[in-house]
Structure 1
């Protein structure tokens, strides 16, 4: 078991286990806007996304889809993920639309911008914004 928790306390990830928050539209399938929900049921997954995400799941990592789709899209989204064989633990709906996210947390947060293909994650040195001491 990769999570440890007691009653109403949030679970704690074991060392080496990652919590992946993964967008859906434009990241694991074509970019389907909320204004065209009929396409949500028929779009095809990106094969490399399916393979990579299921590998992470099988390795014990937590998979949470974090999407701009709304709660009214929960059923079609869940059915689509299951139909195509995606393994996951949870889905968060209602992510703000747009692309300029700035996550502030008291824990280490790593972000990877999807650029068209799921491949191995590699370490790379980059410039980031931090709070001034």
Structure 2
């Protein structure tokens, strides 16, 4: 299965008053542990982030190093997610849903 995760507010903290304070983000270790388990179990892990989408700043090197320091295992990292307050998606799932479905060998459609 392919799992696509956001970064800020999903695998690490995000300051609501300063969303570009990426250097202050703290990893959610329990979430990263589950993502790494999915990776180890043979699932494809993809990250999609809006970092830099409003400022035009290139956060690729910083984000790649940040994920490395946090010990996050993944296959792909994509930038260019539109900056929005709410995303509506027909495939939206929570991390808990994804873990449950993967453990029962269900396919998320």
TM-score range, shorter chain: 0.7 to 0.9
Structure 2 partner of 1:72: 58
User: Structure 1: any 5+ residue segments left out of the alignment?
Assistant: 1-17, 104-109, 123-133
1:39-82, CA deviations, whole angstroms, 9 ceiling, x for partnerless residues? Answer: 31231110111100000111111111011113701111111000
Structure 2 partner of 1:85: 71
How many residue pairs match? The answer is 96
- CA-CA distance at 1:31 after TM superposition: 2.1
Q: Is the Cα contact below 8 Å between 1:49 and 1:118 reproduced in 2? A: no
CA distance in 2, matches of 1:102, 1:74: 25
CA distance in 2, matches of 1:45, 1:54: 13
1:108-119 matched pairs, under 5 angstroms: 110-113=91-94
- With over 3 angstroms needed to count, the CA separation of the structure-2 counterparts of 1:36 and 1:100, relative to structure 1, is closer
In the superposition, the TM-score normalised over structure 1's length comes to 0.61
Point out the structure with max Rg over C-alpha.
1
- Higher relative CO (Cα under 8 Å, sequence separation at least 6) belongs to 2
Give the 3-state SS of the residue equivalent to 1:72 in structure 2: coil
Q: Is the Cα contact below 8 Å between 1:40 and 1:80 reproduced in 2? A: no
1:24-103 matched pairs, under 5 angstroms: 24-32=7-15, 37=20, 39-70=21-52, 72-98=58-84, 99-102=86-89
- CA-CA distance at 1:32 after TM superposition: 4.8
Structure 2 partner of 1:21: 4
